[in-house]
């Protein structure tokens, strides 16, 4: 019989230290020579980059609202097949979902059959953590998951840890250890492009946290407490093969070569989305809008994902040949899909954080701006109506920029709603065979198996 360790790292609230602990644990396991597969609950495409750096294996999103429970279960199983340990990082608090606890880390843990490690911020607290731990342990049973034990963060001393262990004992839950309170241990900002310099800084941070985790957390006991048999049913469910691409915006298209922008400025993608495109048999070519001089030859679908174009506006503006290549492709009727940062790149221009205007591709008659930056975020569901039928697709919106719409800009091809059903102002533009908007859509669950 095969065995695997499956654990969910959750917390009482955001800011408890679960990301720091997750990255430290991932790197510590990797340093031991173990094959570890990271996951991230929710639509976050930044933490997955950090997980990938820490584990040496690409992280995968698990999102019930965007994909559904069965899809989440199959995705988890698919990417777990070559791993000895699977580590999923939760989002926000353990029971925070799109509607009460629906879609939360607790519900996802139950769906994938993982045991939970609860990270508790012990700053300015001691024995008082006992009722919090007790409540979380008993409430978790409602969602079919079990808290295997606790790891404390921001622990000031061994004496402090003694009180915390006593709290665990009286709450009836195992304590796996703690992370010390360190003044110069600070999580690097997530709003950074993954340049070589930033990768080095993040990697150094991860390695330092990994050493702390090795010193004060019982990793062997965590593995032991979260190890369980691998079920053949789970493996069978994960073996899906897509025979035909069902891309929601271009249902008539069966591309042979898909060009995907991927560099320091454009890298916000969902792994399952990319693998979905690969599984159709299409030839996937990655290119850099910053450094390459033209689109890959014989492209019949262009995908421009989101990222950090605001940090590379000078490079993007100066690469005239690439801008011309993309503009000509779109003007000639080439199929293209762009989201968030990729959409901004297709604008007439972008007003940067320095208030300077930078000329972009010019395929869309809109201007992007980073002046007066304001966060826009939340789940989105697009309702589309075509000549043949209606369709919908779900995704997530997260950006600080805005767009200035000119009179000649096309109107949105559909209406977008929040997870609560509220109509949103977010537009999705169409120009010839280009679809572009702010929402990061999730299509990996849209299988069209013709077997």
The secondary structure of residue 179, as a DSSP letter, is: E
- Is residue 249 situated within a structural domain? no
Q: What is the pLDDT of residues 350-384, one digit of tens each?
A: 999 999 999 999 999 999 999 988 999 999 999 98
Query: 118: which residues sit within 8 A by CB, 6+ positions away?
Result: 10, 11, 12, 94, 133, 136, 137, 147, 149, 150, 151, 173
Residue 242 has pLDDT above 90, yes or no: no
- Is residue 53 situated within a structural domain? yes
Please state, as a whole number, how many other Cβ atoms lie within 10 Å of the Cβ of residue 212.
Answer: 18
Tokens found for residue 182? 């360190």
What does R_g of the chain's alpha carbons equal in angstroms?
A: 23
pLDDT at 410: 57
pLDDT at 302: 98
Same-domain check for residues 263 and 358: yes
Same-domain check for residues 12 and 156: yes
Same-domain check for residues 126 and 269: no
Cα 322 from Cα 169, distance rounded (Å): 62
Question: Which residues form the catalytic set?
Answer: 340
pLDDT at 1: 75
CATH number of 136's domain: 3.40.50.300
The secondary structure of residue 412, as a DSSP letter, is: B
- Is residue 37 situated within a structural domain? yes
Residue 252 has pLDDT above 50, yes or no: yes
Same-domain check for residues 104 and 76: yes
CATH number of 383's domain: 3.40.50.880
Same-domain check for residues 233 and 264: no
Cα 369 from Cα 357, distance rounded (Å): 9
Same-domain check for residues 185 and 278: no
Span of 181-185, 211-215, 286-290 with lowest mean pLDDT = 181-185
The secondary structure of residue 102, as a DSSP letter, is: B
Q: What SS3 class is residue 230?
A: coil
For residue 365, give the H/E element and its range. strand 364-369
Tally of structural domains, the chain: 2
Q: What is the pLDDT of residues 391-421, one digit of tens each?
A: 889 999 999 999 997 655 556 788 999 999 9
Contact call for residues 305 and 260 (beta carbons, < 8 A): yes
Same-domain check for residues 221 and 270: no
Task: Tell me the whole-structure pTM to 2 decimals.
Answer: 0.93
Same-domain check for residues 305 and 160: no
Span of 71-80, 99-108, 244-253, 268-277 with lowest mean pLDDT = 244-253
Alpha helices (H) in 97-195, listed in sequence order: 105-112, 129-140, 158-171
- Is residue 450 situated within a structural domain? no
- Is residue 245 situated within a structural domain? no
Domain range for 84 is: 3-238
Mean pLDDT score of the chain, rounded to an integer?
90
Instruction: Dump the DSSP string for 423-436.
Output: EE---EEEETTEEE
What's the whole-number mean pLDDT along residues 137-158?
94
- Is residue 449 situated within a structural domain? no
- Is residue 279 situated within a structural domain? yes
Same-domain check for residues 285 and 231: no
Residue 193 has pLDDT above 90, yes or no: no
Cα 5 from Cα 223, distance rounded (Å): 6
Same-domain check for residues 261 and 124: no
Same-domain check for residues 48 and 93: yes
Of the residues 175, 208, 238, which one is the last residue of a structural domain?
238
More confident residue, 143 or 449: 143
- Residue with the two structure tokens 């609950």: 41
- Is residue 250 situated within a structural domain? no
Same-domain check for residues 21 and 165: yes
pLDDT at 408: 54
């Amino acid at each position: 019989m095969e065995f695997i360790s499956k654990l969910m790292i959750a917390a009482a609230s955001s800011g408890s230290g679960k990301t720091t602990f997750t990255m430290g644990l991932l790197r510590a396991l990797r340093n031991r020579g173990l094959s570890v597969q990271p996951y991230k609950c929710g639509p976050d495409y930044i933490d997955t980059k950090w997980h990938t750096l820490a584990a040496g294996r690409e992280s995968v999103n698990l999102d019930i609202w965007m994909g559904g429970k069965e899809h989440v279960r199959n995705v988890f199983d698919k990417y777990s097949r070559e791993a000895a340990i699977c580590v999923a990082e939760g989002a926000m608090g353990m029971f925070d979902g799109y509607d009460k606890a629906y879609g939360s880390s607790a519900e996802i843990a139950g769906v994938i059959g993982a045991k939970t490690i609860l990270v508790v911020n012990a700053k300015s607290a001691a024995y008082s953590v006992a009722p919090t731990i007790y409540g979380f342990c008993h409430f978790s049973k409602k969602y079919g998951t079990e808290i295997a034990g606790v790891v404390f963060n921001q622990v000031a001393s061994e004496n402090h840890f003694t009180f915390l262990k006593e709290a665990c004992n009286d709450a009836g839950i195992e304590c796996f250890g703690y992370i010390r309170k360190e003044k110069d241990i600070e999580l690097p900002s997530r709003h950074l492009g993954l340049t070589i310099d930033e990768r080095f800084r993040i990697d150094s941070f991860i390695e330092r946290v990994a050493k702390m985790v090795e010193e004060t957390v019982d990793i062997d006991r965590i593995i032991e407490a979260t190890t369980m048999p691998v079920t053949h049913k789970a493996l069978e469910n994960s073996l899906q093969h897509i025979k035909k691409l069902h891309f929601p915006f271009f249902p008539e298209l069966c591309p042979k070569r898909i060009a995907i922008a991927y560099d320091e400025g454009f890298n916000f993608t969902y792994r399952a989305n990319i693998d979905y495109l690969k599984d159709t048999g299409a030839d996937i070519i990655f290119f850099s809008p910053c450094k390459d001089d033209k689109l890959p030859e014989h492209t019949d679908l262009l995908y421009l994902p989101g990222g950090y174009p605001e940090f590379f506006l000078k490079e993007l503006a100066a690469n005239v040949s690439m801008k011309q290549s993309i503009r000509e492709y779109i003007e000639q009727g080439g199929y293209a899909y762009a989201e968030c940062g990729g959409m901004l790149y297709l604008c007439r221009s972008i007003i940067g954080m320095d208030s300077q205007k930078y000329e972009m591709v010019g395929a869309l008659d809109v201007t992007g701006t980073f002046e007066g930056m304001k966060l826009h975020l939340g789940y989105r569901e697009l309702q589309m109506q075509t000549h043949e039928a209606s369709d919908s697709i779900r995704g997530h919106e997260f950006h600080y920029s805005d767009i200035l719409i000119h009179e000649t800009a096309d109107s949105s091809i559909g209406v977008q709603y929040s997870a609560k059903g509220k109509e949103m102002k977010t537009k999705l533009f169409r120009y010839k065979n280009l679809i572009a908007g702010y929402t990061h859509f999730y299509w990996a669950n849209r299988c069209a198996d013709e077997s």
